Amino acid sequence: MIGRLTGLVEAIGGDAAIVDVGGVGYLVHCSARSLAAATGKGVTRLDVETQMREDAIVLYAFALPGERAWFKLLTTVQGVGGRVALQILSALTLDELAQAILAEDKKAVSRADGVGPKLALRIISVLRDRVASGDMPALGPGAIAAPAGGAPAGGAAAEALSALANLGYGRSEAYAAVGRAEAALGPDAPLPALITAALKEAAKA
């Protein structure tokens, strides 16, 4: 099993690249973000997930911190194979993916090629608790972790989320802004103050 490669990223086509390691070329599949991060920068180190199939050994490589962990998590969902997982990691940053799952934003997850609304909903349903637990890499400064009760279902937070959505903000963006505003003002903040603070947070993003 190959767990890491250190070498030069050479020929690239689609989601695949050749990594030259001591004169041996390894064919690896990567997200668009990993390919961009690893190409043209001399010797690079790639974390590798090896998948054994009856007809082939497939290498998936990751140049960005946290990507491999997310890849492994995504492929635990029924219907998400290695190539679909790479499409998701190409379409969304890790912060965006975490926020979309926490916000139950299937539209954002569906931005990835090969992911329809039903699969997006399954990904959210299966992974939300795991992401909310905080043990996955990358909820960066621009994101907000889910409250203990999950996505707001009632009260001022839910009304504020609805208000921002009605103003044209996407669900993930609105969820993050309301979460940051609620964290700053406290869970008992009145609705007008929460909406005002959330709008300011959204404007910063």
pLDDT (tens digit per residue) in 141-161:
444 444 434 445 457 888 888
Please check whether residues 127 and 113 belong to one and the same domain.
yes
Q: Is residue 112 part of a domain?
A: yes
pLDDT of the residue at 88: 97
Question: How crowded is residue 126: how many other Cβ atoms within 10 Å of its Cβ?
Answer: 17
Q: Is residue 79 part of a domain?
A: yes
Please, is 128 exposed, middle or buried when counting C-beta atoms within 10 Å of its C-beta (0-12, 13-18, 19+)? middle
**Residue range 63-75, pLDDT digits in tens:** 998 999 999 999 9
Does residue 13 carry a pLDDT above 60? yes
Q: Is residue 110 part of a domain?
A: yes
Task: Look up the domain containing 180 and give its range.
Answer: 155-204
In angstroms, the CA 76 to CA 123 distance is 9
Residue type, 30: C
Please check whether residues 126 and 76 belong to one and the same domain.
yes
Q: Is residue 149 part of a domain?
A: no
Answer yes or no: are the C-beta atoms of 63 and 34 closer than 8 Å. yes
Does residue 171 carry a pLDDT above 90? no
In this prediction the pTM is 0.75
Please check whether residues 90 and 104 belong to one and the same domain.
yes
**Residue range 14-59, pLDDT digits in tens:** 889 999 999 999 999 999 999 988 887 788 999 999 988 888 889 9
**What CATH number is associated with residue 186?**
1.10.8
pLDDT of the residue at 81: 94
Please check whether residues 54 and 87 belong to one and the same domain.
no
